[in-house]
Amino acid sequence: MRAIANIYRLGVKEIYSLLCDPVLLGLIFYTFTFAIYTVANGVQTELRNASIAIVDEDRSGLSSRLAGAFLPPYFKTPEIIDLAAVDAAMDAGRYTFVLDIPPRFEADVLAGRAPAIQLNVDATAMTIAGNGATYVTGIVGAELLKFVGRAGGAVALPVDLRVRAKYNPNLESAWFMAVMQIINNLTILAIILSGAAVIREREHGTLEHLLVMPVTSGEIMLAKIWANGLVIVLAALLSLHVVVEGLLAVPVVGSTMLFALGAAVYLFAVTALGITLSTVATTMPQFGLLSIPVFVVMNLLSGGLTPLESMPATLQQVVQLLPSTHFVKFAQAVLYRGAGIGIVWPQLLATTAIGLLLFAFGLVRFRTALASAK
């Protein structure tokens, strides 16, 4: 009971210290409000306002029809350019797509000679290059089917394919980016706040005060974990309801309380990692530089932005050691698909196991740091 009381009182002290730090409070507010709203609205993964030019060497009714088929909001109004200007325009980055319609295109289509159309794609625009090429191919194919059908050709397809997109029916990137940004910010803040709590104790000279008190290193570490974790979970829940559901109008179909439980387990692991990093660094600048590659790798390899299935087989096994990998699976299942505890318990169990390992390692490091401070 005395240990629980010590952990509680030390945690309250951590919360008071955090409330008296306007920089960290401003960071929390910005991270769970403006950072989420601007990223969700600004980072577009679907095709929007893509620049396209058309080289019309045919000057026929069919080529004019193709040029008029590219409409907003997917494409900007197509510009007609000469064939000699294609390379210079692509090198200057003025167009993402350039469609080259060859001479006698309409006549060849009507004669059944299957003429070729060249589509030049600026592949440096990776976000829209692949999706945009699919859109262009689909638009050209649809217009050709309509044209051949009116000309008396056979255009009946043997299969009627109907696409049903579940959990995000309009394929809006804002729905995905808003929730994923909360998950990414949980990782960043958990590492920064927990590590800053230890660094702050060392820089203010209060770490020596803790050493003369009847508390253990484990109690000090657990206090920092629950205090900083509580602040982050509350901020994440408020952001989920106010920013994601309110301002961005993204529907959250799952249980927010189950998400809070998973976030608490995840924060137990990540805050322990943050405290471990703080025992390696001696100042806040060092800690900041050390933590950047850690949470960048955790976010990029968690499966949130890049599917795990597309990674090399060896890397897929390695990233299973990261708590962020399991938490991303958990959060997506709960918030997007409305999964219950019966579905996501393996991810919770894996995150807990990794958290216990990180806590044990961090406790050893923290005890070593306290012993060297005596």
Q: Judging by DSSP bridges, how do beta strands 52-56 and 79-80 pair with one another?
A: parallel
Q: Is the pLDDT of residue 81 over 90?
A: yes
Q: Is the dihedral of CA 282, 284, 285, 287 positive or negative?
A: positive
Alpha carbon distance 343, 255 (integer Å): 13
- Residue 138, both tokens: 């689909």
| Each residue's pLDDT tens digit, 322-349 | 999 999 999 989 988 888 999 999 999 9
In the predicted model, is pLDDT for residue 23 greater than 90? no
* 364 CB neighbour count, 10 Å cutoff: 13
Q: Share the mean pLDDT of the chain.
A: 85
State the Cα–Cα distance between residues 246 and 38, nearest whole angstrom. Answer: 14
User: Does residue 149 surpass a pLDDT of 70?
Assistant: yes
pLDDT of 374 reads: 57
Fold of 52-150: abc type-2 transporter like fold (3.40.1710)
The pLDDT value given to residue 151: 59
CA atoms within 13 A on the CB side of 179: 28
**Nearest residue to 287 via CA among 276, 298, 272, 297:** 276
pLDDT at residue 157 above 70?
A: no
Question: Residues 6 or more apart from 214 whose CB is under 8 A from it?
Answer: 6
Regarding pTM above 0.95, the answer is: no
Distance, in Å, from the CA atom of 130 to the CA atom of 339, rounded to the nearest integer, reads: 31
Q: What is the DSSP letter of 242?
A: I
* Strand, helix or coil for residue 29: helix
Mean pLDDT within 182-187: 88
Residue 10 has pLDDT above 80, yes or no: yes
DSSP 100-143: EEPTTHHHHHHTT-----EEEE-TT-HHHHHHHHHHHHHHHHHH
Q: Name the residue with tokens 């699919």.
A: 134
Q: Which residues of 320-350 are buried (b: 16+ CB within 10 A; e: fewer)?
A: eebbbbbbbbbbbbbbbeebeeeebeebbeb
Among the residue ranges 84-93, 121-130, 228-237, 270-279, the one predicted with the least confidence is 121-130
pLDDT at 158: 61
User: What is residue 50's three-state secondary structure?
Assistant: strand
**Can you give the residue ranges of every domain in the chain?**
2-43+172-373, 52-150
d(CA 229, CA 22): 18
Q: Do residues 36 and 82 make contact, with C-beta atoms less than 8 angstroms apart?
A: no
